Amino acid sequence: MSNAPQFGLNGPQSEAVLYLDGPALVLAGAGSGKTRVITQKITHMIEDRGYDPRTIAALTFTNKAALEMQERVGKMLKQPKQAKQLTVCTFHSLGVRILRQECNHLGLKDRFSIMDSDDCYSLVQDLAITTDKNVIRGIQNDISLWKNGLVTPEDALKQAQTEDEAQSARIYGSYIATLAAYQAVDFDDLIRLPVELFRNHDTVRDKWQRRLRYLMIDEYQDTNTCQYELVKLMVTGLGKKPMFTAVGDDDQAIYGWRGATMENLALLQVDFPDLKLIKLEQNYRSTSRILQAANAVIQNNPKLFEKTLWSELGIGEPIKVHSMPNEEQEAEQVAIMISADHFERKNKWADYAILYRGNHQARVIEQALRTQRIPYTISGGQSFFDKAEIKDIMAYLRLMANPDDDPAFIRAATTPRRGIGQSTLEALGSFSGKWQCSLFEAVFKGGIEAVLQERQLKPLQDFCNFILELESRATRPGPSGSGDNAAQVLDDLMEGMHYEHYLYDAFEERAAQSKWQNVLEFVNWLKERGRGGKDRDGEEKNVLELTQMVALMSMLEGKDEEPDAIRMSTLHASKGLEYPHVFLVGVEEGILPHKGDPDAPVETLGQRIEEERRLMYVGITRAQRTLQLTWCKKRKRGGEHVQCDVSRFIAEMALDVGDAPPKETEILSPRERLARMKELLSAPRDVNPA
């Protein structure tokens, strides 16, 4: 096979695109044109090699990445319609698709519910003895890691080192049982259950292998054991030659804390001895200085694969390090530096990004940007779907789809208040436990009058009848064949639950207004999807089908065109993105190598630091042209100010002499600041987001 560059790609890139003789691993450094390779490869397979687009699947970790990839392939194909036949989705969406079709093999009804982590939290809360929030979250975390590691409750119990772990393991067992009783799955099950299915049912596995013959896996270093197992099950066996391309970068593995193991990269070589290894080392994003710093930092990690980024974009401007007296000053100074630079260089606001380790750091920065009247957008914060008012509505929808969904039942039945209280629910709960049925069923079960008085029973029955009525409307054969118009059912739901009234009753005028606004937006968005989406591509969906879709959409992506505003983001959320000018704040010991759990075993400390270092590496490599780092000498923590040390990663960057201006950067005096303010005020104003 020729290595001659094609498609306007460099040598290794086109090699990665053209190689279709077997499994391939593309080690793609930051900014090395990874997405370009994937999209080009898909195009090449369809147009030059005659692959049926329906047999190609590309798996990503975020909906955003999937959307972008599909879009880009669509633009490259001569027949853009073919892009719609591709399977481009997240691991979790693929899991849902598989479970939907094969649920009968798993003893799951097709209207299973998908529980979000809040629901799972309350589930664990009921199973655990303590009420300690941190402990419960810890148990939840343990369970998630076990699921992602394909560890059964029995194994977990055997391996338990401490009593706490044994406790978690026992809860893990009943947790799985409870979910099964609810006919519900959690996030991790979306991968785990398909794995079980494929392991136990060769015919089903064979069917999906025939359907998806070629797999592309993005961000492979972020896969966990369970996801890798799914990949293996899909590409091997039954006389099939493994055909896939995994794309990843061990230096950007930053999701170890949720079970991802970058050892999967090395395992790939073991499991597929004829694995073709291709390295992409030319960077098309950043200046040499930035890459030099990135390389220098990451060199301190033991390497799985040797890799050095380089670019032809010139040496670039020096990287600057500023020390600040405290976090308020830091935020203010960054805001001032950005606005000064913005006017000097006549840049767009959107050319700047402020990156930080933890979400809480965003607060001070937001304040500073607001007082400076600089527009900004925050990514990685609370998502639209996590808002309480949206979850309330969702609880009703989920209950319509699956009356056995007890968490949804509890939430919907008690919001808005309708005379169903704790004691009522407890009686109902123990009754349902005794008869092994869901809360919903229990309401109509004979003998319930014995444990609940008429006064308590009546509101429950009214509530259930309300849900049943809507449910029958949603599934009744309608004009489209799949039930009443989703919009109509939604309208009736909104009216019947009196949610608006409840909001104004329970909250301040202003809060209620904004919450109701969110609800309306959400409902309209649902109606839109029910009609088959904006581009009238997808099929018309009824309300029940919509709810399963929503469960996965944790982030409302690509709403409007991006406004001209500074981007604020956590380092994690910034992966995959790039900005001309990057400010990385809070580069301190304890924050950027984040101080982990003090109780964590010492031997894992090194690994933690390595992951933090990769996080630093990700941050540096987001920058295209300039990079500035700030750290605080003092920071408010808890009650008092605490001394901070500059991050060890700064020293590791080995900045050229002269690159790092002597630590003390001038702090603008109030008078100078006033001058800058005046300058700002005379400039055209931008309106801040609400």
Partner DNA sequence: ATCCCTGCTTTTTTT
Partner DNA sequence: AAGCAGGGAT
Query: Does residue 383 touch DNA according to CB under 7 A?
Result: yes
The DSSP element (H or E) to which 144 belongs, if any, is helix 133-148
Annotated binding residue 412:
no
HSE, CB side, 13 Å, CA atoms: give it for residue 679.
13
With H, G, I as helix, E, B as strand and everything else as coil, classify residue 244: strand
Q: Which tokens is 148 given?
A: 């992602």
> For residue 539, with 0-12 CB atoms within 10 Å meaning exposed, 13-18 middle and 19 or more buried, which class applies?
exposed
> Which residue number, 360 or 671, has a Cβ lying nearer to DNA?
360
Name residues contacting DNA, limited to 607-646 (CB under 7 A): 636, 638-639
**Is position 669 an interface residue for DNA (rule: CB under 7 A)?**
no
Query: Does residue 203 bind DNA (CB under 7 A)?
Result: no
**Residue for token pair 């104003």:** 685
Q: Could you say which of 109, 417, 498, 678 contacts DNA (CB under 7 A)?
A: 417
- What span, in angstroms and rounded, lies between the C-alpha atoms of 296 and 378? 30
202 carries an active-site annotation: no
Q: Which is nearer to DNA, 410 or 655 (CB)?
A: 410
- The token pair at 195 is 């794995």
CA distances from 477 to 396, 471, 496, 542 (A): 21, 12, 22, 10
Among 380, 459, 478, 532, which residue interacts with DNA (rule: CB under 7 A)? 380
Single residue of 10, 55, 117, 282 touching DNA by CB under 7 A: 117
**482 carries a ligand binding annotation:** no
Query: Does residue 570 interact with DNA by CB under 7 A?
Result: yes
The size of the interface with DNA (CB under 7 A), counted in residues, is 41
Query: What number of other Cβ atoms are within 10 A of residue 264's Cβ?
Result: 24
The answer to whether the annotation marks 383 as part of a ligand binding site is no
Binding DNA (rule: CB under 7 A), the pick from 258, 458, 476, 663 is 258
Q: Does 459 bind DNA (CB under 7 A)?
A: no
How far is the C-alpha of 281 from the C-alpha of 13, rounded, in Å?
A: 10
Residue 562 annotated among the catalytic residues of the structure: no
Ligand-binding annotation for 30, yes or no, is yes
Residues with Cβ within 8 Å of residue 119, at least 6 apart in sequence: 186, 407, 408
SS3 (DSSP) at 597: coil
When binding is defined by CB under 7 A, the residue of 133, 241, 303, 663 that contacts DNA is 133
Specify whether the CB–CB gap between 221 and 254 falls below 8 A.
Answer: no
Q: How far is the CB of 419 from DNA (least distance, A)?
A: 7
Q: Binding residue per annotation — 83? A: no
Is 279 part of the annotated catalytic residue set?
Answer: no
DSSP 95: H
Residue in 252, 261, 415, 570 annotated catalytic: 252
List C-alpha distances in Å: 157 to 153, 163, 172.
6, 10, 9
- For residue 35, indicate whether it is catalytic: yes
Using rule CB under 7 A, residue 581 touches DNA? no
For DNA, the closer of residues 289 and 575 by Cβ is 575
The one segment of 106-114, 399-407, 422-430, 515-523 that binds DNA by CB under 7 A: 422-430
- For the record, the structure tokens of 97 come out as 């698709």
Binding residues for ATP: 28-35, 285
The footprint of DNA (CB under 7 A) covers 61-63, 90-92, 117, 131, 133-134, 137-138, 144, 187, 254, 257-258, 357-360, 380, 383, 417, 420-424, 506, 554-555, 570, 572-573, 594, 596-597, 636, 638-639
List active site positions.
34-35, 218-219, 252, 622
